[in-house]
Chains A and B, each alone.
Chain A
Amino acid sequence: MKLAVIGAGAVGRSVAELAADYGHTVTAFADSASAVTDADGIDVTGTLTSKDEQGRVGTADPETAIASEYDVLVEATPTTLGDAEPGFGHVETALKRDRHVVLANKGPVAERYADVRALERESDGTVLFEATVGGAMPVLSTIDDFDPEHISATRGVLNGTANFILSRMAAEGLGYEHVLAEAQDLGVAEADPTFDVEGTDAALKCVIVANVLAQGEREYTLEDAEVDGISSIPGSALELAQEDGRTVRLIGEVANDEVRVGPRLVPETAALAVSGTRNIVQLETDHAGRLNISGRGAGGPETASAVLADVGRLPER
C-alpha cells in the first residue's frame, strides 16, 4: 500500500524506515513545517538525512502530503488534547477522501472518538489505532478478536517512564526526584515529564480502551478518567510496600464504566509488577479467564511495528 506518513518524530521516522520491510511504499512524508511527496516512493534515507541536517523533511507545504495520492494516512503527529488538532483534521481530510487512516496519535481516539467513528461511517476508509495503546503490544486487536462484548475489565501498566521510576525507586531505595533526574539523563523521561508521571498518558490509553469496549454506547474522554500520578509517592511508601511483599505500580483500570489511573499496591510477584520500561495489559475475559499481554509499550520501531501491523489489517482499496 501507499503510505502518507504525517509526523516525523520517533514513530513517524520508524514507520518510514520500516515500511519497505512490510511491503509498503511511502509516497508522502510530512513534518510540521514541510513535506516531500513522490508517487513512486520517496527516498526515505535521503529524507531522514535532510530532517537531521536541515530540520525539515522537504521543501513542499505540509498540506501537499495530505492532499497527495496514497492508500493509508499514517497519523503520527504529537498527541494533543481537547480538539485533538491538527491530528483530527488530518484524519477528517483522509476519511473524506475515502482513504484509510492508521493512528499513532492518541488525541483523536481519546478525545473525539465519536467524531472519528462518525467520519469513518461516511467514508470508504477504515480507521485503526493499535499503536495508540501499549506500543508494540497487540492490545486492541486482541480485544477485537475476543469481541469487546466478552471482556469485562482491563487493567495494566501503560506508561514505561512512570514504571521505570517506580521500579528504580523500589530497587535502589532512592527518592522520586533523584530517579526522575536519572531517567531524564537516560532519555527514558522527557525534560517535561508531566504527561507521563501525572498519569495523563496512561489515562489516554485507558480512555481509548474504554471507548473500544463501550462499542459506541458511551463516549469517553480524558475528562471521564480519574487520574492520579506518582510524583507525590515518597521512597518510604515503596519501602513499606516492600516490607509487606508488595510494590507500587501506576495502574490504569477500565471496569464497570469507570476509567481510573493511579498508584496501586500490587504483590511483588504479580504479573502486573513488571519492571523497568516494560508494559503489561490484563484482559478479564468472560470465558477464558485472564489474559496477559506484555511487552515494549513505547519507542520508535516498537510503535511503528504496531502501525505497520494495522496497515496489514486494512482491506485493499
Chain B
Amino acid sequence: MSDSQDEVRAYTIRLELVDEPGELLRALHPIADNGGNLLSIFHERGNVTPRGHIPVEVDLEATPERFDTIVEALQDENFDIIQAGAERYSEALTIVLSGHLVNTDLSDTLSNIQEATDASVTDLSLSAPAGTNDVSSARLRLATEEGKANDVLDAVRSIAAEKDLTIVEPLTAGGSA
C-alpha cells in the first residue's frame, strides 16, 4: 500500500577491508555520496579475518533504489562485500516518547525495549527544555526485522504504559502517508 521505492529503510552492509590507512574512509564515500544516511559503523580492528582483512559492519538508511546504487558503487571500488541487505534490519521505525523520561531511567527504558523485542535502537535524540526533572521527550529510531514492526510497537506501548510515558507512534503498516 505504501510507495516502497520512496521509503527509507535501514540496511546493514558487512565489508572486509584491507588493513591499510584510509581504507575505512574510502569505503564510506560510496555510501555518503549516493545518498545513504550512516547510522553506525562497527570497525572490528581486533578481529582480523584469516585473510588478514578487517571486518566492518555499517548500518545505514537509504531508499531501496539508493541502496542498490551504493552496493554497486562499493563493488566498482572492489570492496569485499560479505553481506549487503536488509536481512537483519529491514524496517526503521521512528517513535517519540514523552514524560518523565529521565526520572524513570531512560537507559532502563531503552534496554527494556531492546530486550523485549529484536529491535535495535539506532538513534536517539533527547529534548528536555525544562530540565531533566521535568517532562522531556526522546525521539528513537528503531531498526527491526521486516514484518516485526507491529510486534515492536506493541512491546514499546506496554513499556511506555508501565512508566506512564506518552508514545507518539508512526502510522501502522501501509501508512507511509
Contacts and interface: CB of A to CB of B under 8 A. Distances in A.
Q: Quick one: which of B98, B138, B170 has the most chain A CB within 10 A?
A: B98
Contacts of A240: 96, 125, 127, 137-139
Contacts of A236: 98, 127-129, 135-137
Given A236-B98, A241-B96, A153 B129 contact: no
Most chain A beta carbons < 10 A, residue from B98, B128, B171, B177: B177
Given A232-B99, A239-B137, A284 B174 contact: yes
Contacts of B1: 152-153, 284, 290
A240 B99 CA distance: 14
Given A240-B125, A244-B94, A244-B139, A232 B166 contact: yes
A233 B166 contact: yes
A19 to B, nearest CB: 38
Contacts of B127: 236-237, 239-240
What class of interface size applies to chain B in its complex with A? 20 to 34
B172 interface: yes
B169 interface: yes
A263 B139 contact: no
Contacts of A270: 177
A244 B92 CA distance: 13
A78 interface: no
Contact of A264 (B98, B125, B128, B170): B170
A271 interface: yes
B94 A237 contact: no
Contacts of B168: 233, 237, 241, 248, 262-265
B98 A233 contact: yes
B24 interface: no
Nearest to B2: A290
B175 interface: yes
A278 interface: no
Interface in A165-221: none
A271 B139 CA distance: 22
A251 B125 CA distance: 24
Interface string B1-24: 100000000000000000000000
Interface in B118-151: 125, 127-129, 135-139
Contact of B174 (A153, A239, A263, A264): A153
A237 to B, nearest CB: 4
A284 B172 CA distance: 13
A167 to B, nearest CB: 15
Nearest to B171: A264
B95 interface: yes
A53 interface: no
A13 interface: no
B106 to A, nearest CB: 14
B166 A251 contact: no
Contacts of B137: 234, 236-237, 239-240
A293 interface: no
A18 interface: no
| Closest 10 A/B residue pairs (Cβ) | A270-B177, A236-B137, A236-B127, A240-B139, A237-B137, A232-B166, A272-B177, A237-B98, A263-B168, A237-B96
6 contacts: A236-B128, A236-B137, A241-B168, A255-B174, A265-B95, A273-B177
